[in-house]
Structure 1
Amino acid sequence: MLQTIDLSSLRTRSNAYNPARARDVALTPEVAALLRTDAVVAIGVSGGKDSVACALAVARHLDAIGHTGPRVLVHSDLGRVEWKDSGPACERLAAHLGWELLTVRRQAGDILARWEKRWSNNVERYRDLSCVRLILPWSTPALRFCTSELKSAVVSRALNKRYPAHNVVNVTGVRRQESSARSKMPVSTPLASLSTKGRTGLTWNAIIEWTIDEVFTEIAAAGQALHKAYTVYGASRVSCAYCIMSSLDDLRAAASCTDNQDVYREMVRLEAESTFAFQGQRWLADVAPHLLSPELATAVASAKAAAI
């Protein structure tokens, strides 16, 4: 059985919350200096716990320092692979804060369209003898074009268009506790895609030092409802429903949601067509085989044999 988040524990945290003792955001001199110029503060939000807590904490900090510059939440819509509650969760957060929510999308299609196009293009090159090796359709931990193309690039493009003459602080909910790679990340770093002559852009990882308990405490204190991926389906993180970085438990949680089952079959179909498993040696088809038609299950079996 899938585990769900203990909501009674969250209520206890909320009751014990003391605004005067709330965890502060992490700061650098560079961030503080830009905020004093009333730079644009753009917070990337997915509907997940870290981005929600980050937005709440940053909003509190901006109010405390008297920041009067533009503030905006930015949600990158990932299309078919996104949890259905992600957009509404971002809308709830925006309404709570009284901030604008800017939703952006990759014009050339969602992440599944990108994977499908990557595969068809590679097959065409292979057929034309312009390459000698077929490559997998999926992004990987070492080649996360899903993040760069569907999040970073489209967000930067939208902010550049909207705020061409403003300094911009691009805020993320990255936390050191999440992974060994993130544990080494700085509090802030220059952001070339938002920097031009006479204009500065930087990335600010405002809650990078926070623990997961502090994240949940912040959300509970604000009275914000958690994303349904956590409370109903027992997922531990929110991004794509089926993410190249997801644990097996999170993939199973996603597949248990009827909203995610059509795209599950579409992704398994691409596994079968390409003979490349979604996560290295882990086949998405094996996560919820009961959702597959007999024809698709047979195609997967053939793909596995071909892959070997």
Structure 2
Amino acid sequence: MLALPPVATTPEIDILLKQKTVVAVGVSGGKDSVACLIAVHRYLDSIGFEGPRCAVHADLGSVEWEQSLFKCQEVADKLGWKLEVVKRAAGGMMERWLKRWENNVERYIDLSCVQLILPWSTPSMRFCTSELKSAVIRSHLKRTYPDFNILNATGVRRQESPNRAKMPIAKHEPVAARRGFDAYQWNPIIEWDVGAVWGAIASVGLEPHEAYTRFNMTRVSCRWCIMSSAGDAYNATLDEAGHPLYRQMVDLEIDSTFAFQSNKWLGDVNPSLLSSETLGRLAMAKQVSLRRKALEAAIPKHLLYTKGWPTCIPTFEEATLLAEIRSEVAAGVGLTIKCSTPESIIQRYEELMEQMRLKGAVAAEEGESAIQLIPALQIQPQQLSFL
């Protein structure tokens, strides 16, 4: 058997592995998650771990590569692990982006936000991972293994990025635990280099995901990821099975006037896959996007979103400016908005400020009521005979 680097552990992980614990490994079909499953499997065998083991795949829907689920099942079968497939009840990643755009449009129409908000995930706002993977897997494990500690392993490696280089070997996750039990996220191959990853996969006689071998991808997650390099974004378009998704994502770029990756438009990655009509709409969307950014850059800073927004009511002059900006942005995106005059904007801000005031008053009242209840819970001397 090929020697592999050791897995990384902590005293907390070692203690859990001696208790009533389920070990779950998140698998996507990509190289790191497959190597992680292999590494954890060998480690658990080496220490005589007898608790339940499961590989968990969070199905992201149409954004997945066709071979991903097969590769997850393949490695699970090879090692004798049970594969459990979970998914968000409201749909996959594409459905989440579409619904987010729909919700953001509604918010902009009734002035519940001052700027138009993009539909996509971003590197600093990765709800794609938190909502469609982490939260769904966590909920599944809590429901399926209510009487176990939970050890949820992932294939995170420090070599992958500066952010991941700072991640710990293990992280306490009390939100993932049931009462009386504990939960940790575990990154057992965090110190491995990519050579060790490929070595682990070869050691059990498995071939890599075809995205690596046929389409020269460097990473395998969604077909098009917000973190994709330019090379990966193009190579993903070489798989004909992904063309319907590519066109759907470009359509959302056009409808929203937001590029998939900040200023990098997915529609520019492989224009040969798009119709002349779509290319024309894309060109127009880019112009609207530039104009929208210029317009919204003129909004006074104190009117922009911050915690507790809105924090003030605009002056008539500021409301006039907002009315002009909102009307032009809405026209560019094809929206019919409310609050398009200075008077209606000021009235809307007054409504929002009143809602904030009432919300704060209710929170304060509830806090005061809770404080007043504390003396009533104290045991009086005369009550001791009843205990």
Is the pair's TM-score, using the shorter chain for normalization, greater than 0.5? yes
Work out whether residues 217 and 235 of structure 2, in 8 Å CA contact, stay in contact via their aligned partners in 1: yes
Give, in angstroms, the shift of residue 283 of structure 1.
0.2
Q: Which residue of 2 aligns with 1:84?
A: 66
What aligned pairs does 1:227-306 form with structure 2 within 5 A after superposition? 227-306=209-288
Q: Percent identity?
A: 52
Residue 130 of structure 1 deviates from its aligned partner by 2.6
**Helix, strand or coil: the match of 2:44?**
helix
Trace 1:6-21 onto structure 2 (pairs within 5 A): 19=2, 21=3
CA contact (8 A) 2:13 2:170 kept: yes
Match of 2:91 among 94, 105, 109: 109
Q: Which residue is 1:195 aligned to?
A: 177
Could you say which residue in structure 1 is the equivalent of 2:115? 133
**Aligned twin of 2:306:** none
Q: Distance in 2 between matches of 1:156 and 1:171?
A: 12
CA contact (8 A) 2:4 2:199 kept: no
Note if contact 2:142-2:177 (Cα within 8 Å) is conserved in structure 1: no
Partner of 1:12: none
Aligned residues: 290
Task: Please tell me whether residue 70 in structure 1 is matched to residue 52 in structure 2.
Answer: yes
Matched, 1:222 2:204: yes
1:159 aligned partner? 141
Instruction: Say which of 80, 87, 99 aligns to 1:98.
Output: 80
Show CA shifts across 1:37-96 (max 9, x none): 141000000000001111001101101111010000000001111111100000101110
Question: Which residues of structure 2 form unaligned runs of 5+?
Answer: 291-387
Aligned to 1:174: 156
CA contact (8 A) 2:146 2:178 kept: no
Aligned residues of 1:71 and 1:99 also touching (Cα < 8 A)? yes
Are the counterparts in 1 of residues 142 and 178 from structure 2 also a CA contact under 8 Å?
Answer: no
DSSP 3-state at the match of 1:297: helix
Q: CA RMSD in A?
A: 0.9
In structure 2, C-alpha distance between the alignment counterparts of 1:177 and 1:63, rounded to whole Å: 27
Per-residue CA deviation, residues 171-212 of structure 1 (Å, 9 max, x unaligned), is 000000001111111111101221233100001100000000
- Equivalent residue, structure 2, for 1:14: none
Aligned partners of 1:44 and 1:170 also within 8 Å: yes
For the 8 Å contact 1:45–1:52, the answer to whether it is kept is yes
Rg larger in structure:
2
Deviations 1:11-42 (A, max 9, x none): xxxxxxx54x3211111111111011141000
Q: CA offsets, 1:248-292, max 9 Å, x none?
A: 111111111011111000000000000000000100000010001
Task: Decide whether the 8 Å contact of 2:237 with 2:243 is kept in 1.
Answer: yes
Cα distance in 1, alignment partners of residues 113 and 153 from structure 2: 40
Aligned with 1:36: secondary structure?
coil
C-alpha contact (below 8 Å) 2:147/2:178 kept by paired residues: no
What letter matches 2:147 in structure 1?
A
Distance 1:145 1:244 in 2: 11
Matches of 1:22 and 1:125, distance apart in 2: 52
> Where does residue 313 of structure 2 map in the other structure?
none
Point out where structure 1 has 5 or more consecutive residues left out of the alignment.
1-17
**Counterpart residue number, 2:18:** 36
Q: Provide the TM-score with structure 1 as the length reference.
A: 0.92
Instruction: Supply the distance in 2 between the matched residues of 1:170 and 1:193 (Cα, whole angstroms).
Output: 13
2:124 is matched with: 142
Aligned-partner Cα distance in 2 for 1:273–1:22: 49
SS of equivalent residue, structure 1 residue 43: strand
